Every structure is written in C-alpha cells, then in structure tokens.
Structure 1
Amino acid sequence: MSADPKVVIGIATTGRPAILAELVDQLAKQSIRPHRLIISYARPDDIAAIPQTLRDSMSVEFVTGHMGAAVQRNVILDHVKNEDIILFLDDDFFPHPTYISRIIEAFLDHPDVLGATGSLLADGAKGPGLEIEEANRLNGNAKTTSFLQVEDVFNTYGCNMAFRCTAIKRLETRFDENLPLYSWYEDMDFSRSLLPHGRIVRVNGARGVHLGNKTGKGSGVRLGYSQIINSIYLARKGTYPWSHALKSAGRHFLINALKSFRPEPYIDRRGRLRGNLVGIGDLIRNRITPERAATLTISKVAS
C-alpha cells in the first residue's frame, strides 16, 4: 500500500433517496475525500434526490443491477480499479468527518489488517431508528481524537466496513449472492472469509452513526426466514462456527416468539416469526436454500 492510499467508497442503496443525498453531501466534507464514490442502485428513484452539483463535485459513479445487498455490492467490486481500500457504507451510516482518515491510518499502521469496521456513536438498528438531525448532532459533538486503537473482532459490521483491495483481488472474495435481498449475514460471511489470511479489526477512532432506518428492509417474513436458514447455510459453508450459528438461529426465534405478543411498532415480529417457522420447516426437510427467501409471501406489516 502506498503512503497515500486511494479509497473508493461503495454504497448499495434501496428506497432511501433523501438519506442517501445527505450522506453524499457529508462525504464531501470528510477531512480526506474518497478517491472515487460508487453508488449501486436498483431503481432510478433511489438516486433522484442527489443534486447534480453534488454528483459533479464528488465525481459520483452510478451502477445498477438486481436489488439485494450482496448483488449490489458485487457490482461495486466489479468497478474497483487501482484503489488501495474499498469502504462499504450503508446508505444510512453517517461517518464522523475524520472517519476515512482513521481507516487509512489503521491500514497503514497494521499491514496484517485485511478488514476493518469503525465504532458507533449510536446504532438506530437496535431501536426505532435515528433521525438525520440526531446523527449530525452526535457526530458534531464527538471530539476529534489522535488516539487510534484497533482490536480484533469476529466480523465487520455491514453498515461500515473497509477492506484491503489487494487481498480481495488475490483471494477473489465476493459477496454470496445466494443470500438474497437484505442478505442477512452477508457482511459476516465476506469478512470472515478473509480471516485465515489476516486480521479483521474494529478501529475505535473511526466513528460514525448508523441511523438504522426502517425503510428498504423488505418483508418481515423473508427476513425471519433468512435469520434461520442463512445461519445454517453459512455454518455448512464454513464461515460461521456451528456454535454461533445455532445460538443465532435459536435466539432470533425465541425473541420473535416472545415479542410477537406485544411487538414493537417498528418491527414486524409476527412476520419474522412466521418466516422463522418456515425456515425451521425447511431445516427439518434438509432444504438449506437461502435464496428461497426471495419467493416467500410478503407480510403486510413493514419490518
């Protein structure tokens, strides 16, 4: 890696045009700008809110294909050129202005690091979600620090994860397109496939806020199915330890079952439970096909 690494940012987006436009505007204010910005979208409306002036100033490249986190991120990988670091951001992750510079420092200081994820000032995915104004306030109040600590982690978190491009190309690492739509655990599968060859770390100085916006998530039934089947599929594949996979599937089934009696207004617990049960039925029949999630009947309640 050169002393002045090139960073390409890849954003897979679906159904969040206003939030995406705000994110692109914030990326323009990073202390170190990305070398390139690639946005993978499924429908024209997904990118309609980004002003032309911002598109030009950031030299945004738009690529399109079938909807789904894994598929859209692979399209981004297909367009990586001679960059040193690929940084995948969710369209609702707002980085602190020093985020990119901290990620670069981590890769420069630790040649054995192949993948990195930042630390969250707040994660709206664990609740009803955060508004843009709250994310901006948290980032604005976070003090800039020269302290850069990295610690080994089980996997990168999909909302913000960076990888050494040479490793990805050498190992021909791809996102598993058998994990459709929301692609539950595709981030873990991708990052852990690199573990035999180097380290996966969290960079505590690279901070940001994950809105956890609930639009664009899709059906609760489909997500519930993926919560069961994807865990077992990845355990069979070898990127997810069986002990973790069984605990994950069991934990989500138990949580969805208990909370389906009094579900949160922002989560389709009953839809997820229904999907869990379909997944368990497929497990009994030894049908481990995560791609089936895309064909299940859609719950009427938003997940």
Structure 2
Amino acid sequence: MTPAAELSVGIVIATLGRAKNVATLLDRLALQSLLPACVVLSMEGAEDAPPARTYPFHLIQLFGPRGSCQQRNRALDSLPPDIDLVLFLDDDYVPSRRLIAGLVRFFAAFPAVSGASGRLLADGVGGPGITPQAAIALVESEDAGEERASLSVSPPHPGLYGCNMAYRMAAIGHSRFDENLPLYGWQEDIDFGSHIAGPLVYTDAFYGVHCGEKAGREHNGRRLGYSQIANPWYLRRKGTMPARFAHRLMLRSMAANGARLLNPEPWIDRRGRMIGNWLAVRDILLGRADPRRILEL
C-alpha cells in the first residue's frame, strides 16, 4: 500500500468557450487542503483561457484543435513523469476543498483500484444548469461537516463519469482517448475506461458539483443527435462497449428526443437531435455510419 502522502496528483481540464468557469475551478483548486502537483489546461485558443494570475500549483496551458478527446490526449502527453494519479475534471465542475486529499486517501486505501469517480452533490447536466455561486454554496456546506471516517467503494463499473474521473497513471500507460470521436466526444469516457486493466469504481471519498453549464457545449442539435447513435454503434463494433448497453443507450436517446419533440426544454434542441438520430440510423442501414460524419453536419 502506497502512503497517501507519497501520491502526486495531476489535473487535466479540457475546456472550450468557458473562461469564467475555468477561472472558478482554478480558484477552487487553489483552496485545496492538499494541492495538486500540476494542473493542465488544454484549450483551443487564448480566448478560452482565464485571466492571468498566480496559483499555488504548476499551471500548464496548451493550445490546439478542439475536441475533448484530442484536448485530453495533449494534456496526458504533457504531464510530468512523476505524476501518480491523473484527475480529469470538466471545466464546469466545482470541487470540495477536500477533493485532492480525499482522492489520494482513497487510492492509498484501495491499491487494487485503477480508477474512480467521486460523489456528485448535484448535477445540472440534465436541467438548465447550476450557477457556480450555487455550486460553491453546496460544496462549502458539505465541507463544513466532519470528514467521513470510512470510505465507500462501489462494485466495478464499465466506465467512469467524465466530469470527475481519476486514474492511476500506471494503469493508463500508453492508452489514450479515441480521436475518432470528435468534438464533444460522446461516450469517450466509457471507451477510455475499457482500456484500463483493474477495477473502475465510484466512491464518496471525494466530491463536488457538476454545474452542467450550457455555454460552450455543442449546440448543433443534429451533431449531438448523430453522436448519440453513431458513437455507441461505433464503440459496440470496436468492442469497447457491450452491445446491450449500446443498444439501450441509443434507444433511450431516441425515446427522450421523441417524447419532448413537441414540448422541448429551452436549453435543448430536441428537433435537431431527433434529425441527427435518424441521420445516424440511415447511415447505419447504409453501412456508412461514422462518428466523424458530424464534422460534415
């Protein structure tokens, strides 16, 4: 068992069009009871970067083509060689002050675990979103309580939740995110997890809030709708997503888009997603479905 004090943590944040959210996240990371060794911001352009300031950790800023998989891969390649744990955070995630401390405590206590996602106090991705101010209030309220003496660990899962997922660098090795899943990279977290040897679990050892910020997301409903069908189909054929899981995912997306077609949420382009769903179904029947076709839509 490796002592928690000896585990170094690198944080990867792939971001696009959310400079304010990133600034909030970096400010929260600066308040950690245990600081990360480094934080990597992987961006498309300078407009994605937060205002310049000094942080109590090493900040690496990278620029290159957009796409969550591409951006995360660039960040992985830039991590110092002495990093033991890498934590992938969405740019609209608001962490507890005890996030890093809980993370290293967990991995020290469970040496057989290769990856873990923490507890979400709230997740705004399925609704209109949670403001950073409201998210900070939630985590501060939770942090005011006593730290849990025991650590929970779930049964193994096929993949982790991309907004907050941590892996041992030794388990990752040369594995990388599939860049054939462009832009938002729908289901890239499941695909990535399939390449990791060892259990992937969920725990309450570290926690935060996923705001579900709508700015900067893929607002082209056709593209996301196409990805909802084409990406699981591609991953099923690739062998990194079980067929039953992929089919259920595709049917669930089509059912949700169809059910809300006449009364859509203001923040979701249901009509565009439904069109994208059917375009992908057509391409599957024609034998030409490919996640990269969203770049043509």
Q: Letter of the aligned partner of 2:296 in structure 1?
A: T
Name the residue aligned to 2:213. Answer: 213
1:193 paired with 2:195, answer: yes
Q: Letter of the aligned partner of 1:44 in structure 2?
A: A
Q: Letter of the aligned partner of 2:148 in structure 1?
A: T
1:224–1:274 Cα contact (<8 Å) kept: yes
1:8–1:35 Cα contact (<8 Å) kept: yes
Name the residue aligned to 2:163. Answer: 159
Unaligned 5+ runs, structure 1: 297-303
Unaligned 5+ runs, structure 2: none
1:20–1:50 Cα contact (<8 Å) kept: no
Q: Letter of the aligned partner of 1:176 in structure 2?
A: D
Provide the TM-score with structure 2 as the length reference.
0.94
Which range moved further: 286-295 or 22-31?
286-295
Q: How many angstroms does 1:63 deviate by?
A: 0.8
1:107-160 Cα deviation digits (max 9, x unpaired): 111121111111100000011100011101110111332231111333110000
Name the residue aligned to 2:75. Answer: 76
1:103–1:203 Cα contact (<8 Å) kept: no
Structure 2: how far apart are the matches of 1:8 and 1:273? 39
Structure 2: how far apart are the matches of 1:280 and 1:82? 45
**SS, match of residue 54 in structure 2:** helix
1:69-128 Cα deviation digits (max 9, x unpaired): 000000011112220001110000111111111111221111211111111000000111
Provide the TM-score with structure 1 as the length reference.
0.93
Structure 2: how far apart are the matches of 1:215 and 1:157? 20
Question: What is the root-mean-square deviation of aligned Cα atoms in Å?
Answer: 1.2
Name the residue aligned to 2:23. Answer: 21
Name the residue aligned to 2:240. Answer: 239
Residue correspondence of structure 1 range 18-97 to structure 2 within 5 A: 18-47=20-49, 49-54=50-55, 57-80=56-79, 81-97=81-97
**SS, match of residue 125 in structure 2:** helix
Q: How many angstroms does 1:2 deviate by?
A: 4.8
Q: How many angstroms does 1:288 deviate by?
A: 2.7
2:2–2:111 Cα contact (<8 Å) kept: no
2:37–2:57 Cα contact (<8 Å) kept: no
Q: Letter of the aligned partner of 2:190 in structure 1?
A: M
| Percent identity between the two aligned chains | 41
1:8-53 Cα deviation digits (max 9, x unpaired): 0010000000110010000011111000111000011100x33323
Name the residue aligned to 1:105. Answer: 105
Q: Letter of the aligned partner of 1:69 in structure 2?
A: S
**SS, match of residue 120 in structure 2:** strand
Name the residue aligned to 2:149. Answer: 146
Q: How many angstroms does 1:229 deviate by?
A: 0.4
Shift >6 Å, 4+ stretches:
none
Structure 1: how far apart are the matches of 2:229 and 2:75? 28
